Amino acid sequence: MADQGRVVIRNASILDPAAGELLPDRVITVEGGDIVDVGDSPGASTGARQIDAGGRVVMPGLIDGHVHVLAYTANLPAAAEQSPYYVAARAGEILRGMLDRGFTTVRDAAGADYGLADAVREGYFVGPTVVFGGKALSQTGGHGDGRPRGREVHDDAYCAPTHCRVVDGVDEVRRAVRDEIRKGAEHIKLMLGGGVASPTDRIDSTQFSVEEIRAAVQEATAANRYVLGHAYTSKAVNRGLAAGVRSIEHGNLIDETSIPLFLEHDAFYVPTLATYSALAEEGPAAGLPAESFAKVFEVLDAGLHALELAHRGGVKIVYGTDLLGDMHYRQLTEFALRAQVQPAADILRSATTTAAELLGLPGRIGTLAPGASADLLVLDGNPLEDIAVLTKPADALRLIMHRGRVHKNTLI
């Protein structure tokens, strides 16, 4: 995908998420898809396209650390039976919507593969950069095993648009991790406990043996990758953290025992509050089966308490949404939900600099500095003063740039 040459953005008030402050009267110079200069005056700008930000706030593009771009329906087992071509077409629309909302990078937490990531990178799909992990790993009967109780055989055909593969035992786990990495996975996901969308497991269960978890961590670490773990309870979370899992997803039911382990292991926490409020209101209409809908309320009300524990404890927290089906449009509601607990500056860091650190891309995304990818937003309003600015993209989001290409521009 070709960039748009040299672009100079003048009159910019740059939002620095790391410092939590605005830097007024800056000029940003973009070339070759990257930011090449940020200063008080433009560098060599002959022939450059000029964009006047008009003193508005310019901030890094947003990062969503937990998405499922293949999840066009909340009925994930049913989606696995669909044609992969149809699922890819639906994923293309989901990706475009994410970029329209200001997300320039997303971490897919199960399902997307190298083909989809390449399609975005090469411009066949319009959307954010996709950092993918391939298929998540589940034990038999675990959160990623979508079989109804009466089906004995699990279809593990890799081309099927499933989100998971089922593996049991240390040897199978090692082989599967190596295979996902062979296919280009930038992280490995393990189902460490039960979940909402799976038909046969309990949310309070623990899944995979400690030996299996350690084997996955060893293989990922050997390839300079990391493991993220789906878990709700402190029992499941703590087992994963102690075994070296770097990122815990959801964690709605954690208690105080988990906080020291996050800090000891320098691990990240990715709550996904948006999906539970969405599922409670829209789940059945979006295709969520009745047995899964009943589980939503086991974790719905606990999410804010878990977030508050992690925030007060100094845990590194990353923005994530985990939305399914027709509920992807609620991706920005996570900002408002977290604002009940966290200050705006901390929430912004979770969707920029802290997320970039988790993805292994500090200095490359989540920041506006020379050498960073030219992923940026121009806003009417300052989200440091009112985080709700980010929840109104149709009104406040005036320009979206992704890798140096202007996706949206309503500046006069």
User: What's the pLDDT at 81?
Assistant: 84
**What's the pLDDT band for 148 if we cut at 50, 70, 90?**
low
With 90 as the cut, is the pLDDT of residue 370 above it?
Answer: yes
How much is the average pLDDT of 126-155? 82
How much is the average pLDDT of 395-412? 94
With 70 as the cut, is the pLDDT of residue 124 above it?
Answer: yes
- Other beta carbons within 10 Å of 274: 27
Structural contact between residues 17 and 366, judged by C-beta atoms closer than 8 angstroms: yes
With 80 as the cut, is the pLDDT of residue 151 above it?
Answer: no
How much is the average pLDDT of 311-322? 98
* Superfamily of 7-61+366-409 according to CATH: Urease, subunit C, domain 1 (2.30.40.10)
Distances (CA, A) of 296 to 67, 77, 353: 18, 17, 30
Topology, domain 62-331:
TIM Barrel (3.20.20)
The DSSP bridge pattern shows strands 376-379 and 136-138 to be unpaired
**pLDDT over 90 percentage in the chain:** 76
- Other beta carbons within 10 Å of 167: 26
With 80 as the cut, is the pLDDT of residue 157 above it?
Answer: no
User: What's the pLDDT at 219?
Assistant: 98
Half-sphere exposure of 79 (CA within 13 A, CB side): 28
For the chain, give every domain's residue range.
Answer: 7-61+366-409, 62-331
- Other beta carbons within 10 Å of 49: 13
The C-alpha torsion from 177 through 183 and 186 to 188, rounded to 10°, is: -20
Rounded Cα distance between 90 and 324, Å, is: 12
Ranges 224-233, 270-279, 400-409: which has the least confidence: 270-279
Rounded Cα distance between 187 and 110, Å, is: 10
User: What's the pLDDT at 22?
Assistant: 95
Structural contact between residues 87 and 159, judged by C-beta atoms closer than 8 angstroms: no
Distances (CA, A) of 175 to 164, 181, 352: 15, 10, 33
Tell if the pTM clears 0.85, that is, is over it: yes
